[in-house]
Structure 1
Amino acid sequence: MITLHHLEYSQSFRILWLLEELGTPYELKLYERDSKTRLAPDDYKALSPIGTAPVITDENGLVLAESNAVIDYILDAHPESPLRPAPGEGTRADYLFWFHAGVGSVMPMQFMNGILTMMKARSPALVRPIIGKATDTVREMLVAPRLKVLFDKLESDLGRNTWLAGDQLTAADISMCYSIGSADAQGRLEGRPNCQRWMEQMRATPSFQRAMEKDGRETFIFSF
C-alpha cells in the first residue's frame, strides 16, 4: 500500500486529491511546517534526496518524489481510470499540455514572481528603491507577459471545455490545481470567468472536499 507523506500547505495536496478521486486504499502521514521558517521538518526532508513535497513510499522500498512523476506512477496502477486519457483519444493533446504546463511553465513563472517580490520586500532600506526598480523591470519584461499568455490560454481552453481536458475531471486538473489556486489567491483570475468557474467546480468536487477534510484546512489557498 502507498503511503502519502503530506506536508501542510504544499504541492502534496494534489496527490491527496488524486488518491481520493481514485478511491484507492492508502496511508496518510501528515507533517507540519516549522512555525518560524515555514519549511518542512527534518524528518520530512530526510524522506527524499531532494527534500520536497510530495513524497510517496511503500512497503517494497519505493521512495518517489516530484508531483507529476507520482501522479503517473499511481495512474499506472489504475489503467482503467478516466483520469488519464489514452493515446488516440480526442482530449489527449489538451491533457498532455495542461498536465505538464503547470509544473513546466506556470509554476516556474509564479515562483519567480514570488522571489522578485521577496527580494524587494526584504532588501535593506537603503538599497530597496534600486532593488525594487530592478525586480519590477524583470517582472514587467519576463514574468507578467508570460503569465498573461498562459492564463489567456487557460481562459480560452476553459471556454470550450468543462475541465482542462474535455468534459470530465482528469489528472491535468489535479496537477494544475496548485498553480490555479495560487493565481486565484493573487487576484490573477479576476476578469477570467471561465477560470473562476473552474475554481468553483473544483471546490464542489466530492473527492476534493474529502481531501480538504483530511488535509485539515478550511480554505484552499496556495501562494508563492
Structure 2
Amino acid sequence: MITLHHLENSQSIRILWLLEELGGEYGFKMYDRDTETMLAPDDYKAISPLGTAPFITDGKTVLAESNAIIDYILDQTDGHALRPAPKTADRAQYLFWFHAAQGSYQSLQTGRFINSIAVDRSPRLVRGIIRKVMGMLDAAFYSPRLNTVMNLMEDDLSRHPFLAGEAFTAADIAFGYTLQMASMRGDLGENYPHTQAYVDRMEARPAWQAALAKDGKFTGVPT
C-alpha cells in the first residue's frame, strides 16, 4: 500500500489532495517541522531520498519529487480520469501545465522566496544594499518570467474551467499548491481574476477540504 510521509506545511499537501481525489486506501504518516528551524525533523530526513517533501513509500519503493509521485500513484491506481490518454485532444495541454507547475512556476517562486529570506536575515548595516540588489534581480529575472506564465494561464482559464481543458486533471493538483500560495500572498486578485476564481473553485473541492482536515495544520508557510 502506498504511504504518504507528510511534512507539515509543505508541497506534500498536493499528494494528500491527489490521494483524497482518488478515494482509495492509503497510508499516512505526519511529521512536524522543527519549531526553531522550521526544517524537517531528523527522522523524516533519514528516510526521504532528498530530505525534502513530499515522498512516498510503497513496499520497498521510496520515491520523492511531486510530479514523479503523482505519475507513480496514477500508474498504480484507477486514476486514468486524472490524466488524458496519449493522442487525445487535451494531452499536450495537460503535459505542459503538469510540468510547468514545478519546472517553471514553482522554481521561480522558490527563488523569489529565498531572496526575501536573504534580505530579512542580512546584517542591518547592509540590508538596504541587499534589498536593492534583490529588487533589481526580481525586476530583471523573476517577475517577467512569472508574469509570462501567469498571463498564459489567465488566458487559458478565461476559455476553459481547468488547466488541461474541460476536465479536472492531475495538472490542476500539481499547480494547485503554488497557486494557493500566490493567492494567500495577494498575487492574484484583480490582476488575474480568472485564475483567482479557478483557485477558489479548487479550494471548494471536497477532496481538498478532506486533505486539509486530515493534515490539520496547513497554513501555507514554507515548503
For Structure 1 versus Structure 2, the TM-score category normalised by the shorter chain is: over 0.9
Partner of 2:165: 166
- Structure 1 unaligned segments of length 5 or more: list them: none
How well do the aligned residues superpose, as a CA RMSD in angstroms?
1.4
Q: In structure 1, what is the Cα distance between the partners aligned to 2:141 and 2:148?
A: 11
Partner of 1:98: 97
Residue 204 of structure 1, CA deviation: 1.2
Q: In structure 2, what is the Cα distance between the partners aligned to 1:80 and 1:178?
A: 20
Aligned partner of residue 161 in structure 2, secondary structure = coil
Q: Give the partner amino acid of 2:131.
A: G
1:183-194 → structure 2 map (5 Å cutoff):
183-191=182-190, 192-194=192-194
Partner of 1:64: 63
Aligned partner of residue 64 in structure 1, secondary structure = strand
Change (3 A) 1:8 1:2: same
Q: Percent identity, please.
A: 51
Aligned residues of 1:53 and 1:65 also touching (Cα < 8 A)? yes
Q: Give the partner amino acid of 1:20.
A: E
Aligned residues of 1:54 and 1:65 also touching (Cα < 8 A)? yes
Aligned residues of 1:163 and 1:173 also touching (Cα < 8 A)? yes
Aligned residues of 1:48 and 1:65 also touching (Cα < 8 A)? yes
TM-score (norm 2): 0.95
Q: Deviations over 1:14-65 (max 9, x none)?
A: 1111111111210110111111111010110111231111111123x11001
Q: Give the partner amino acid of 1:206.
A: P
Worse-superposed segment, 77-86 or 65-74: 77-86
Partner of 1:126: 125
Q: In structure 1, what is the Cα distance between the partners aligned to 2:172 and 2:119?
A: 33
Verify: 1:54 aligned to 2:54, yes or no. yes
Q: In structure 2, what is the Cα distance between the partners aligned to 1:129 and 1:15?
A: 39
Q: Give the partner amino acid of 1:168.
A: A
Partner of 2:72: 73
Which stretches of structure 1, 4 residues or more, deviate above 4 A after TM superposition?
Answer: none
Aligned partner of residue 5 in structure 1, secondary structure = strand
TM-score (norm 1): 0.95
Residue 181 of structure 1, CA deviation: 1.1
1:1-224 → structure 2 map (5 Å cutoff):
1-59=1-59, 61-78=60-77, 81-191=80-190, 192-217=192-217, 221-222=220-221
- Structure 2 unaligned segments of length 5 or more: list them: none
Q: In structure 2, what is the Cα distance between the partners aligned to 1:11 and 1:149?
A: 23
Change (3 A) 1:223 1:151: farther
Q: In structure 2, what is the Cα distance between the partners aligned to 1:66 and 1:80?
A: 19
The structure with more helix, counted as a fraction of residues? 2
Q: Give the partner amino acid of 1:159.
A: S
Aligned residues of 2:5 and 2:31 also touching (Cα < 8 A)? yes
Residue 167 of structure 1, CA deviation: 1.8
Residue 220 of structure 1, CA deviation: 5.6
Q: Deviations over 1:105-140 (max 9, x none)?
A: 001110111111111121111111211111111011
Aligned residues of 1:185 and 1:222 also touching (Cα < 8 A)? no
Q: In structure 2, what is the Cα distance between the partners aligned to 1:23 and 1:98?
A: 24
